[in-house]
Structure 1
Amino acid sequence: MNQTLKELDYKKVFYYFTEISAVPRGSKNNKAISDYLVEFAKTKGLAYRQDEYENVIMFKGATPGYENAPALILQGHMDMVCEKTNDCTHDFLKEGIELFTEGDFIHADRTTLGGDDGIALAYILALFDDDTLEHPRLEAVMTTDEETGMDGAIGLDVSDFKGKLLLNIDSEEEGILLTSSAGGLTATCELPLKRIKAEGLKIIIAISDLQGGHSGAEIHKNHINATKLMARLLFELKGAMDFQLVEFNGGLKDNAIPRDSKAEIVIDADEYDRFADIISGLSRKYKNEFVTNEPHLNIGVMQGEEGEYKILHPTSFEKLLFILLNTPNGVQCMSNDIPGLVESSLNLGIFHMEEEKAIICFSVRSSVNSYKEFLAKQLNYICEFMGGEFVIRGQYPAWEYKKESPLREYLSKVYEELYKKAPKLEAIHAGLECSFFAEKIPGIDMVSLGPDMWDIHTPKERLSISSTIRVYQYIEKVIEGMKNL
């Protein structure tokens, strides 16, 4: 355990965060962390259930005097987004995350930290491990694959739950109580490709060092999508000289704004100097356009070998470029009801080419279900018009705002008592699993909260140590005060 965290640890929160971080737990790789949680429940003598989706549910009975208090559900997800810098060799399938501290921050070494949502698991285990805490019946729900479609929450059986109050611990800003979230879906277009052979000089073009970020929480920050920018570069290059496309890839996660993209093209070797001048001019133009929102933008060129390559047939290239240029991306409209809230957006998150097809994956979000459906239809129309196949998966509804929420009022009251100021009540454009609990448990009352985190879904992700402790202490006060609810 990191020495700084060991010295600052409160109620074993950082101990459990360290334990959880040591277990590889990227989305679709849940078995090890799920089994770790089961072993915890067994060791502590807790009632538990591990289901076919590898969700883990734990129950802890009320302490004396709290038998008549309402049961509380504590909820978070066990998977994390696995992103790393280009120079990082970390293997997310086999290696856990080593924690580092710098001032008030916990971070990883050139990878995502997994504070989203490992801190929820750490909180839950610390609370369930604390025999001094007075509490009502506690029900913990730790779900799988939240980051890739909320599959765990979708398949969860809630028939043995007694709680009608739920704390979702999957937010990233202390002092804010989230009261609703957007719905979403993942849309994939598969475009067939035809290849032919051509001779020439291979050139590799790389766009790197963009800011990226969470496609829900940070879509409004106007971070440039590396795949869309590369498509623009190829389009403008095509207008200035002849070349053929060999490969083009960008983005690793549908819910992360792509930070990097790479294209391989073939040109006439005698045209290299002209090509270099054109790329230099485009690079200067883009850096000037994006100097504020993408100050570290880098466009690099590497010269390859002369030879014969399998290139895209000109018709396939035109179709692919048309889709990449013309599919909508980013914020589509702002909320008319909540100032500053993005209502609808989409993110071209994953793009890669195989031998005979290109795969283009979008994350679509909206707090208005009808507009979410329209965006999906718009993508479908463009994709099928170009001869591709379109598939929707991982669809989830919006968590709608409740005008009357006793839980929200109670949490606000406890917050004001502790900090002498009111918390902020907000909605979020990102999706939360609360939407499925609203469907599965009629009448459930929910709020989402969490400690300060920054740059989630990127290698710059960091978690505040002091905020983590304060939010845990706040949750303790909330639980202890439920005797009087």
Structure 2
Amino acid sequence: MELKEKIIYYLKQVVKIPRASGDEKAISDYLVKFAKEHGYKVTQDDLYNVIIEVPSTIPDYAGPSVVLQGHMDMVYVKEPDSPHIYEEGIDCTVDGDRIYSTQKTSLGADNGVALAYFLTIMDSKEIPHPPLEIIVTTQEEVGLIGAQYLDCSSIKSKYFINLDSESEGEFFTSCAGGVRNYFTVPMGEKHPQKLIPLTIKLQGLKGGHSGTDINLGRGNAIKLLGRVLKEANGDDVMLSSFKAEGKANSISTAAAAIVGVNPSRLCEFKTKIAETANLIKNELQYTDTPNLIIEENKDENAYKYYDNDSKNKLLNALELLPFGVVSKSFSIKGLTETSVNIGSAEENNGEIKFLSSVRSCVASRKYELLGRIDTIARVLGCKSEAFNDYPQWNYNPNSPLRELALRVYEDMFHKKAATASIHGGLECGYFDSKINDVDIISIGCNLYDVHTSKEQASIQSLYNVWDMLLEILKRLAS
């Protein structure tokens, strides 16, 4: 099997292993076993982070070593009608230049491609490279937790290549920092009432990565459903539930609520819901595809409802909570400086809890936005809790590794690569603070619609970045 065939083979092996954030033991053990079987020294910490030492393949080599780094977890999402069972892993198919899931789920090429590269390198003794320290972290997608926890005292390398970018020919040299937030609305108990129960669903949205796609003007199902319900609200409309499965770093694609409506108000309520849905469709006609569904439930006695005060508090919170781009950068053209995404809504024990991700490349703006959310919570009598606060990665004006990568790309593909900052979070910020005088770049192949059920990877781009990576390693070793 040729090297490039091995990359696809190992990518398929990786995505077959369930590895959502917080469930990395199986993939971590797979990496450890693979490394040991191939004779490499490997360490695994109690958060399942892995460091693998791969000696140079160049006889009598005495030059610098290099870190190759990625994360093993993925954002697992699927369409509401997907038959996929998470525990069975993901099957993928190759169709022309694209590889994607066969069952309407995310693929996990973010960051499975990096793992496939690492496994291919470890499986070959023919690739010329310096000594490598391969770092594979956990829980990256839920706040870079593995990188925060990892002990880097054993790392000797001063060159560091992160392989978690998603655009070939665009080398990231800085990134935003971020913080997660739980916004909790106390709802109290539910009580039975004689109402007509309806299920209101807002779905069909494109979603996307809450960092890299937040500037595309797409809708957020949680915010939009809140708006629909607020427009049709009244004392004779009661709320039974509000839920949206999702992740902090994925723009919400589907949300559902169960409401009870007084029979005399039913026709007016449905009309108002439909009118608001049409307004939203018109507003998003160039960027998204919202679809509103109203289903009349049969058993009137099966549902209980929150009181009006609690319902109104929830709808006010959904109206006030920010979503989307808050500010653009004036120092880097086209860069989103600060944003926030509401990724999920969970109902439990008389509370409805919203999970959000706040991002900014300016730390003070991140905390200012978080403070705004805290103020909304205080005013409404809700609770705001911040966690998983991670740092931004600042630009290094003196980076020999960056300059080498730019030369390699131009030499190989006869066009210039670009350097950029990314609004998404990268683990580079933690490693920059933990490893003294380290020189870091982030590269990757073309991925599309990451963190959604439409996620795809370009095979040709995957091969291009592989060739570029090997050439960078070769030149660093020369």
Q: What TM-score range do you get, normalising by the shorter chain?
A: over 0.9
Return the offset for 1:251.
Answer: 4.0
Q: Does 1:236 align with 2:218?
A: no
CA deviation digits over 1:249-294, x for unaligned, max 9?
A: 1241011000011111001224333322222222222222221111
Which residue of 2 is the match for residue 106 of structure 1?
99
CA deviation digits over 1:341-372, x for unaligned, max 9?
A: 00000001111222411101110000000110
Structure 2 residue runs of 5 or longer lacking an equivalent are none
The change in CA–CA distance for 1:66 and 1:375 in structure 2 (over 3 A counts) is: farther
Which residue of 2 is the match for residue 438 of structure 1?
432
Mapping 1:295-444, distance limit 5 Å: 296-304=289-297, 305-307=299-301, 309-444=303-438
Normalising by structure 1, what TM-score? 0.95
- Between the aligned partners of 2:60 and 2:250, the Cα distance in structure 1 is 43
Return the offset for 1:10.
Answer: 1.0
- Between the aligned partners of 2:59 and 2:36, the Cα distance in structure 1 is 26
CA RMSD of aligned residues (A): 1.5
- Between the aligned partners of 2:337 and 2:153, the Cα distance in structure 1 is 33
Which residue of 2 is the match for residue 3 of structure 1?
none
Does the aligned pair in 2 maintain the 1:66–1:483 contact within 8 Å? Answer: no
| 3-state secondary structure, aligned to 2:194 | strand
| 3-state secondary structure, aligned to 2:195 | strand
2:457 to 460, 463, 469: 463
The change in CA–CA distance for 1:211 and 1:64 in structure 2 (over 3 A counts) is: closer
Q: Does 1:187 align with 2:175?
A: no
Which residue of 1 is the match for residue 8 of structure 2?
14
Does the aligned pair in 2 maintain the 1:201–1:307 contact within 8 Å? Answer: no
Return the offset for 1:385.
Answer: 2.4
Does the aligned pair in 2 maintain the 1:199–1:308 contact within 8 Å? Answer: no
The change in CA–CA distance for 1:303 and 1:129 in structure 2 (over 3 A counts) is: same
The change in CA–CA distance for 1:263 and 1:40 in structure 2 (over 3 A counts) is: same
| 3-state secondary structure, aligned to 2:121 | helix
Which residue of 2 is the match for residue 256 of structure 1?
250
The change in CA–CA distance for 1:39 and 1:196 in structure 2 (over 3 A counts) is: closer
Q: Which moved more, 1:449-458 or 1:59-68?
A: 59-68
CA deviation digits over 1:9-68, x for unaligned, max 9?
A: 616111111111111111110010000000101110001101111011100122335623
CA deviation digits over 1:276-327, x for unaligned, max 9?
A: 2222222222222221111x32101100132363211111112111111101
Return the offset for 1:133.
Answer: 1.2
The change in CA–CA distance for 1:15 and 1:384 in structure 2 (over 3 A counts) is: same
Mapping 1:171-182, distance limit 5 Å: 171-182=165-176
| 3-state secondary structure, aligned to 2:8 | helix
- Between the aligned partners of 1:414 and 1:66, the Cα distance in structure 2 is 25
Return the offset for 1:228.
Answer: 0.4
Which residue of 2 is the match for residue 42 of structure 1?
36
Does the aligned pair in 2 maintain the 1:251–1:257 contact within 8 Å? Answer: no
User: Number of matched residues?
Assistant: 475
- Between the aligned partners of 1:457 and 1:190, the Cα distance in structure 2 is 24
Instruction: Give identity over the alignment, percent.
Output: 36
- Between the aligned partners of 1:76 and 1:200, the Cα distance in structure 2 is 53
Q: Does 1:96 align with 2:89?
A: yes
Q: Which moved more, 1:454-463 or 1:408-417?
A: 408-417
- Between the aligned partners of 2:265 and 2:184, the Cα distance in structure 1 is 33
Mapping 1:64-79, distance limit 5 Å: 64-65=58-59, 67-79=61-73
Return the offset for 1:460.
Answer: 0.3
Return the offset for 1:235.
Answer: 0.9
Does the aligned pair in 2 maintain the 1:189–1:360 contact within 8 Å? Answer: yes
CA deviation digits over 1:130-165, x for unaligned, max 9?
A: 101111110100000100111111110111111011
Q: Which moved more, 1:195-204 or 1:372-381?
A: 195-204
1:215 to 210, 219, 224: 210
Return the offset for 1:224.
Answer: 0.4
Q: Does 1:25 align with 2:19?
A: yes
- Between the aligned partners of 2:251 and 2:7, the Cα distance in structure 1 is 31
Does the aligned pair in 1 maintain the 2:57–2:126 contact within 8 Å? Answer: no
Instruction: Kindly provide the amino acid, as one letter, of the partner of residue 454 in structure 1.
Output: Y
Does the aligned pair in 2 maintain the 1:188–1:359 contact within 8 Å? Answer: yes
Which residue of 2 is the match for residue 82 of structure 1?
76
Q: Does 1:200 align with 2:175?
A: no
- Between the aligned partners of 1:277 and 1:344, the Cα distance in structure 2 is 37
Does the aligned pair in 2 maintain the 1:244–1:312 contact within 8 Å? Answer: yes
1:226 to 187, 211, 221: 221
Instruction: Kindly provide the amino acid, as one letter, of the partner of residue 373 in structure 2.
Output: L
The change in CA–CA distance for 1:463 and 1:196 in structure 2 (over 3 A counts) is: closer
- Between the aligned partners of 2:252 and 2:190, the Cα distance in structure 1 is 29
The change in CA–CA distance for 1:308 and 1:170 in structure 2 (over 3 A counts) is: closer
Which residue of 2 is the match for residue 167 of structure 1?
161
- Between the aligned partners of 2:177 and 2:205, the Cα distance in structure 1 is 27
- Between the aligned partners of 1:124 and 1:67, the Cα distance in structure 2 is 21
| 3-state secondary structure, aligned to 1:274 | helix
Does the aligned pair in 2 maintain the 1:38–1:48 contact within 8 Å? Answer: yes
Which residue of 2 is the match for residue 246 of structure 1?
240
Does the aligned pair in 2 maintain the 1:253–1:350 contact within 8 Å? Answer: yes
Does the aligned pair in 1 maintain the 2:190–2:240 contact within 8 Å? Answer: no
Instruction: Kindly provide the amino acid, as one letter, of the partner of residue 405 in structure 2.
Output: L
Mapping 1:117-136, distance limit 5 Å: 117-136=111-130
Return the offset for 1:72.
Answer: 0.6
- Between the aligned partners of 1:280 and 1:327, the Cα distance in structure 2 is 23
CA deviation digits over 1:98-128, x for unaligned, max 9?
A: 1111111000020000000000000011112
| 3-state secondary structure, aligned to 1:84 | coil
Instruction: Kindly provide the amino acid, as one letter, of the partner of residue 204 in structure 2.
Output: D
